[in-house]
């Protein structure tokens, strides 16, 4: 299982939201680009970046910050995956042109699933499905609205359209450090055929091992690394031990 460190950005700074609530934000002093580079040097093959401002309003005011983060990570040998507010093919193209290897589409996929075949035809495996769910139903637009479709149904449709990977987040777990929704991720991977990256809630190494034992493709770790609960090196080792 791949361990993927995550950096969420709002107003150009590293932050974390509790359960996707913009009113419950924790800010960190860490420099976004320096953090991305440090994760790559520590052994990350892929760094996950989320533009929280864009996720909410579709804007791109953090574009320069994300480009700097991508350049810093790539200079140290890591690939970059970017999500947040990618609601058009041109927006996807922009983040790929800025150095991302993969672009995560959530709202676009949920609100316009008919667009997925064209996205795959244009960008191939670089398109990753973002499945953020609250009570099993996909949440969109910065998790502030419901798409009215279940994660499983959208996952199946995306796989049929040729999408290969998905990032799955149970919103209730995100930022809590109480553990990710391992069972939900496992079921999603088994029932859709997508390679699932589990996100949201990892707080200790036992959570990393549980995701690895479930056979998931990857597991994202965010807040726990920023707060020094364990190192990335320890998380990579835990994934291999499981």
Residue where the block lists tokens 């796989």: 159
Q: What does the pLDDT look like over 149-194, one tens digit per residue?
A: 999 999 999 999 999 999 999 999 988 999 999 999 999 999 999 9
Sign of CA dihedral 18, 23, 29, 35: positive
Beta carbons of 180 and 173 less than 8 angstroms apart: yes
CB of 202 within 8 A of CB of 222?
yes
Is-contact 168 199, C-beta < 8 A?
yes
State which residues form the domain around 209. Answer: 2-241
> How many folded domains does the chain comprise?
1
pLDDT digits (tens, 9 = 90+) for 29-65: 999 999 999 999 999 999 999 999 998 888 899 999 9
In this prediction, residue 182 carries a pLDDT of 98
Interatomic CA distance for residues 115 and 197, integer angstroms: 22
- What is the average pLDDT value for the chain, to the nearest integer? 95
Which helix (H) or strand (E) segment is 212 a member of?
Answer: helix 205-213
- This prediction has a pTM of 0.95
Contact 197, 216 (CB under 8 A): yes
Alpha carbons 201 and 223: distance in angstroms, whole number: 8
- Rounded to 5 degrees, φ, ψ at 13 are -120, 155
Catalytic residues: 8, 132
Per residue in 121-135, pLDDT tens? 999 999 999 999 999
CA distance 158 to 184: 17
CATH assignment of the domain containing 64: 3.20.20.70
Using CA atoms, how far apart are residues 26 and 149, in angstroms rounded to an integer?
30
């Amino acid at each position: 299982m791949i361990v993927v460190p995550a950096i969420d950005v709002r107003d150009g700074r590293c932050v974390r939201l509790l359960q996707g609530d913009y009113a419950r934000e924790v800010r960190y002093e860490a420099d976004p680009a320096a953090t991305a580079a440090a994760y790559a040097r520590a052994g990350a093959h892929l760094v996950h970046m989320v533009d929280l401002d864009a996720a909410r309003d579709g804007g791109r005011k953090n574009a320069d910050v994300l480009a700097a983060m991508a350049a810093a990570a790539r200079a140290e040998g890591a690939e970059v995956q970017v999500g947040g507010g990618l609601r058009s093919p041109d927006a996807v193209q922009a983040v790929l042109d800025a150095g991302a290897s993969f672009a995560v589409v959530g709202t676009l996929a949920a609100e316009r699933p008919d667009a997925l075949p064209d996205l795959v035809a244009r960008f191939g495996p670089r398109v990753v499905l973002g499945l953020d769910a609250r009570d099993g139903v996909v949440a969109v637009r910065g998790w502030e609205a419901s798409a009215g479709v279940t994660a499983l149904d959208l996952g199946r449709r995306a796989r049929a359209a040729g999408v290969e990977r998905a990032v799955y987040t149970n919103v209730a777990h995100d930022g809590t450090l109480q553990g990710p929704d391992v069972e939900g991720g496992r079921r999603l991977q088994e029932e859709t055929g997508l390679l699932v990256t589990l996100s949201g809630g990892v707080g200790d190494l036992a959570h990393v091992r549980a995701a690895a034992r479930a056979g998931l493709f990857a597991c994202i770790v965010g807040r726990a690394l920023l707060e020094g609960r364990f190192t990335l090196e320890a998380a990579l080792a835990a994934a291999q031990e499981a």
